[in-house]
Amino acid sequence: MMKELMMSFALLGLAGCTAVQIPSDRLEHSQASIRGAEEVGANGVPAARLHLQLAKDQTDTAKRWQRVARSGRCWFLARAESDAELALGLAREVSVHQDALKAAEDLKSVRDRGTN
């Protein structure tokens, strides 16, 4: 499916779409989302790492498609942003879960000290 979609975009490019630069704000937002996911440890969470890699791949694809219509590149960037945000959320979920487990252990420790 993805290859077919990419081929469709390539054919559009060959059919005479003019070269249009990627909107810098879209590219910056996509790259910022990727950095954010990396900073919270998305590479250490398997599901998050997958979406982070997808985000990077989509951003790279958007950069390579200089002859595809603007909306096509924005589609790749939108997917990249979504994958990066998902990676960020998954990485944060793991962090929050670990914090909750630590808090539960601390509470149990405090309760145990209070009963002794």
Which domain CATH number covers 110? 1.20.1270
Q: How many structural domains does the chain have? A: 1
pLDDT tens per residue, range 81-109? 888 888 989 988 988 989 999 999 999 99
Q: Which DSSP letter does residue 68 get? A: S
- Domain hosting 103: range is 2-115
Q: Are 21 and 65 in contact (CB under 8 A)?
A: no
pLDDT: is 15 or 64 the higher one? 64
Average pLDDT over residues 29-34: 89
* Identity at 104, one-letter amino acid code: A
| Mean pLDDT taken over the chain | 77
Name the pTM for this structure. 0.55
Whether the per-residue pLDDT at 26 is higher than 60: the answer is: yes
Q: How many other β-carbons are positioned within 10 Å of the β-carbon of residue 79?
A: 18
Average pLDDT over residues 19-38: 80
CA distance 15 to 18: 9
pLDDT tens per residue, range 39-62? 999 999 998 999 999 999 988 887
SS3 40: coil
CB within 8 Å of 74: residues ≥ 6 apart: 23, 26, 62
Q: What DSSP line would sit under 37-103, residue for residue?
A: HHHTTGGGSHHHHHHHHHHHHHHHHHHH-TTS-HHHHHHHHHHHHHHHHHHHHHHHHHHHHHHHHHH
